Amino acid sequence: MKLILVPIVMGMIVGVMIRFTTEIITSVTISPLLAASAILVFLLSSRFSKKVPPVLSALVVTVLLAFFTSEFKVENIHDTVILPQLMVPHLIFDAIVSIGIPLALLILCSENARATGVLMNQGYKPPNTGMAIYGSIVGLMASLFGGHAIYIAGPMTAICAAKEVGKKESRYAASVANGVFFSLFGLFALIVVPFIVAMLTVIISVNAGLAMLGVLINSLKTAFLNSKFQMGAFFAFIISMSGVNFFNISAPLWAIVGSLFVSFLVEKDHFTSRTKVERAKDSKEETA
C-alpha cells in the first residue's frame, strides 16, 4: 500500500465512482419530473440549508412525488422477522482455490484500496492491516450464517466519511448508524424489501449520484491538483472507468497496476523527488 500514490488512488476512485454521477443526468431522460426535482432540491438545499443534508431533502421530495403521482406501488408485504440461521460450512478444496483466494485478493487489492483512498482523501490514516485482519475475522463469522465477503466498501465509506456528514472526529457515528440500519434491514427484510422494490430505479440512481458529488470533486482535486504523477492518475482514471476485467480481477486493481507502470515509465523523476520529501519528513519526525 505504501507504493500506491495518492494521485493514482484518487484517479482510480473517480473512474470507479463516476458512473454514480453520470446516472444523475441519464435519470433525467428516464423520468424528467423525479430526477429534475431531486437535482433542484439538492442544489437549493445546499444553498439555503446547512442543517439538513441536501441528499436527504432530495430523497424525501422524490419519494413523495413518486407516491403522489402513483408511481410508488408497494406489494407483498410480510410482517415476519427473519432471524439469522446457522449454516455449517462444507470445505471444498476446489472452491477454496477457485473462489476463496481470488475473492480475498480482489477485496484486498480492489475494495480495500478504494476505501483506503477515500479515507486518505478525507485526511484519515486508515489502518490497512487492521482492515484486512478484522474484516477477515468478521467475514469468517458471517460465513457461518450464509454471508459472503465482508470488506470496507468504497461507495459506502465515501458517503460516511464525506465532509457533509459532520466534523472529522465524529463521522464514525455515520458508520455506526449505517451498521444498525443494515442489521434492522436484515431482520425485517420481508417488510423492507417490498418498499425497496417499489422505489423506482431513477430515485435510487439520482440520489446515489448526488450523494457522491462531494467525494468525486475532492478526489478530482487531489488527483490532478499537483503537477506530479498526473499521467499515472489519468491512466488510473480511464482504466477504472473502462470496467475491464482480466482473469476475474476487476478494473480497480488493473487501474493501480497499470497507472504505476505508466508513472514508472514516464514520470520516474517524480518518484525521486517524492523519496527526498519522505526522507525529509521522516527526519523531521525523528527530531521532534
Mapped onto helix, strand or coil, the DSSP state of residue 249 is strand
Residue pair 29/241 in contact by the 8 Å Cβ criterion = no
- Where do the DSSP E strands lie in 32-163? none
Classify 228 in phi/psi space as left (phi over 0), alpha (psi -120 to 50) or beta.
Answer: beta
Mean pLDDT value of segment 22-36: 87
Q: Which residue has the higher pLDDT, 280 or 112?
A: 112
Report the C-alpha gap between 77 and 191 in whole angstroms. 5
Report the C-alpha gap between 77 and 195 in whole angstroms. 8
Please indicate, yes or no, if residue 87 is contained in any of the structural domains: yes
Mean pLDDT value of segment 161-171: 80
pLDDT-based confidence at 286, cuts 50/70/90? very low
Residue pair 7/233 in contact by the 8 Å Cβ criterion = yes
Report the C-alpha gap between 55 and 275 in whole angstroms. 41
pLDDT at 40 over 90: yes
Please indicate, yes or no, if residue 1 is contained in any of the structural domains: no
Mean pLDDT value of segment 275-284: 53
Please indicate, yes or no, if residue 277 is contained in any of the structural domains: yes
Report the C-alpha gap between 73 and 48 in whole angstroms. 32
Lowest mean pLDDT, pick from 54-58, 134-138, 268-272: 268-272
Q: Is the pTM of this model over 0.75?
A: no
pLDDT at 25 over 50: yes
The end-to-end CA distance of the chain, in Å, is 26
Q: What value does the mean pLDDT of the chain take?
A: 80
Domains in the chain, number? 1
Give the model's pLDDT for residue 52: 80
pLDDT-based confidence at 287, cuts 50/70/90? low
Q: Per mean pLDDT, which of 70-79, 155-164, 273-282 is the most reliable?
A: 155-164
The percent of residues in the chain predicted with pLDDT above 90, rounded, is 3
Report the C-alpha gap between 269 and 272 in whole angstroms. 5
pLDDT at 186 over 70: yes
Enclosing domain of residue 259: 6-287
pLDDT at 110 over 60: yes
